């Protein structure tokens, strides 16, 4: 049981304005595992005032000095890696062996990457008689989600601090305990008072206060498209910069050129691309596009992979590849989508909406695959955020591309082909922010973000640093 009763504002732990608290629930036991303060707009005002007061001095430090602090934060994350992994496994439900690698390991790598990025970054350049300089945008409000909670925090905080910005963070109230651990690490790193501030609470209260605050210069938000739209509306009133990383309904295209072992490997990989973190991944490849004449062959492989490899179980012991979903609300939402898929005429290949018989406690959903899916079905159009894979058949590559692009989202996707150049050519036609070619691995140094209603702006690497900078021209 972890109880945090204070907020981190102005370099110290302070009493919140309200005595109200929010309970944090363990996703696999359904028991309370901690609590946090329910922050108020007044708490946001205090945090913003501290960030404003700290900005000028922090912005005046050198990039080298700033990334020294960021490296100290990375070192602190490494020292508490196992603890962080266990906490996030409880909060989110990701199996512990994956939490160690992804939920705890990836934030360390992202934070540490900014040391090298800052050294090679072109902070100023001469263009004719103009000196063009990059300066920090100011006070940043960061609003982050629950599915990869610490990674999404660090993906905003590390580049913002490197840029010379000060930060007010609101973590997800569903998975916030890791953010309080980070605040402890930040404090131990000795960041100047007010450079980093933490106000926990709900989106409609604390999130909206941050997005609309006149003294916040930029809001960086990750979450649903619906909530991101609201953040954009509120931010527009003060013409602040708004960076949005939103939902997805990503397509994974298996090209007709795939045969034999290559086809089998692609089909098996498709399951993992859809079901990582129990499908609670904004980039999950939840639409599998397959040649019509190979549909049954692929379905046989997918069904076998799901039923033998992607088992569900207690995430704390790593008993399965899939853990529970984040909450009862999310579990019921996903089960509702499964029932809707059946009602709309899709063919249930494996899984279903019924609760797993051997797991009566915990927010578990059976990994589910549908065939016979068409682009007008709800399960092919809405982001489900659970372990549900829709298989859609196509007749030629042009139709596959058209199906892939027939969505309001454009966050990610994949293309598999016997020839990498062929796969790359198809990938160029898909309107998304990133694509995997033949299972190419995630690169934390490459830009991450979406097209269309999947958002705007980019995170990670040098592109992520650019988001927190303003450009000034001085004519000489």
Could you say which of 91, 245, 305, 467 is catalytic? 245
What is residue 311's three-state secondary structure? coil
282 is annotated as an active-site residue: yes
Helices 420-427 and 397-405: angle between axes, nearest 10 degrees: 40
Residues 6+ apart with CB under 8 A from 377: 341, 344, 345, 346, 390
Encoding tokens for residue 418?
């016997």
Residues 6+ apart with CB under 8 A from 26: 32, 33, 90, 91
- CA distance linking residue 225 with residue 236, whole number of Å: 16
| Alpha-carbon torsion (79, 83, 87, 93), positive or negative | positive
Residue with tokens 């309904």: 249
| Alpha-carbon torsion (15, 20, 24, 29), positive or negative | positive
- CA distance linking residue 133 with residue 349, whole number of Å: 57
The three state secondary structure string of 344-381 is CCCEEEECCCCCCCCCCCCCCCCCEEEECCCCCCHHHH
Could you say which of 282, 305, 436, 467 is catalytic? 282
- Enzyme catalytic residues: 245, 282
């Amino acid at each position: 049981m972890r109880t945090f009763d204070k907020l981190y504002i102005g370099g110290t732990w302070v009493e919140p304005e309200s005595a109200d608290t929010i309970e944090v629930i363990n996703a696999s036991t359904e028991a309370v595992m901690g609590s946090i303060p329910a922050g108020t707009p007044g708490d946001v005002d205090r945090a913003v005032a501290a960030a404003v007061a700290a900005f000028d001095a922090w912005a005046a430090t050198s990039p080298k000095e700033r990334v020294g602090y960021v490296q100290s934060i990375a070192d602190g994350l490494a020292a508490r890696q196992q603890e962080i992994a266990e906490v996030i496994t409880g909060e989110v439900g990701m199996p512990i062996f994956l939490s160690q690698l992804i939920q705890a390991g990836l934030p360390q790598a992202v934070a540490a990457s900014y040391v090298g990025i800052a050294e090679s970054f072109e902070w100023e350049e001469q263009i004719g008689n103009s000196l063009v300089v990059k300066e920090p945008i100011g006070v940043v409000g960061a609003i982050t989600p629950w599915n990869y909670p610490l990674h999404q925090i660090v993906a905003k905080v590390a580049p913002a601090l490197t840029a010379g910005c000060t930060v007010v963070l609101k973590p997800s109230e569903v998975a916030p305990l890791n953010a309080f651990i980070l605040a402890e690490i930040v404090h131990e790193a000795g960041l100047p008072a007010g450079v980093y501030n933490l106000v926990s609470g709900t989106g409609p209260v604390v999130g909206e206060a941050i997005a609309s605050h006149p003294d916040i210069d930029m809001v960086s938000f990750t979450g649903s498209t619906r909530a991101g739209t609201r953040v954009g509306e509120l931010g527009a009133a003060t013409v602040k910069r708004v960076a949005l990383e939103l939902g997805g309904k990503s397509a994974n295209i298996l090209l007709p050129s795939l045969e034999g072992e290559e086809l089998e490997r692609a089909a098996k990989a498709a399951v993992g691309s859809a079901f990582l973190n129990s499908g609670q991944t904004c980039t999950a490849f939840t639409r599998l596009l397959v040649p019509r004449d190979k549909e049954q062959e692929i379905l046989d492989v997918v069904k076998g992979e799901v039923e033998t490899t992607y088992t569900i179980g207690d995430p704390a012991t790593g008993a399965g590849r899939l853990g529970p979903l984040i909450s009862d609300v999310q579990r019921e939402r996903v089960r509702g989508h499964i029932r809707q898929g059946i009602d709309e005429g899709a063919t249930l290949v494996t899984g279903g909406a019924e609760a797993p018989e051997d797991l009566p406690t915990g927010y578990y959903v059976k990994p589910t695959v549908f065939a016979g899916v068409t682009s007008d079905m709800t399960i092919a159009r809405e982001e489900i955020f659970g372990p549900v894979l829709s298989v859609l058949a196509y007749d030629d590559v042009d139709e596959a591309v058209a199906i892939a692009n027939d969505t309001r989202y454009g966050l990610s996707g994949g293309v598999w082909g016997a020839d990498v150049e062929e796969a790359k050519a198809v990938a160029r036609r898909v309107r998304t922010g990133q694509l995997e070619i033949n299972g190419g691995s995630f690169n934390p140094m490459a830009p991450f973000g979406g097209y269309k209603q999947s958002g705007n702006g980019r995170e990670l690497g040098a592109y992520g640093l650019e988001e927190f900078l303003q450009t000034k021209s001085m004519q000489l």
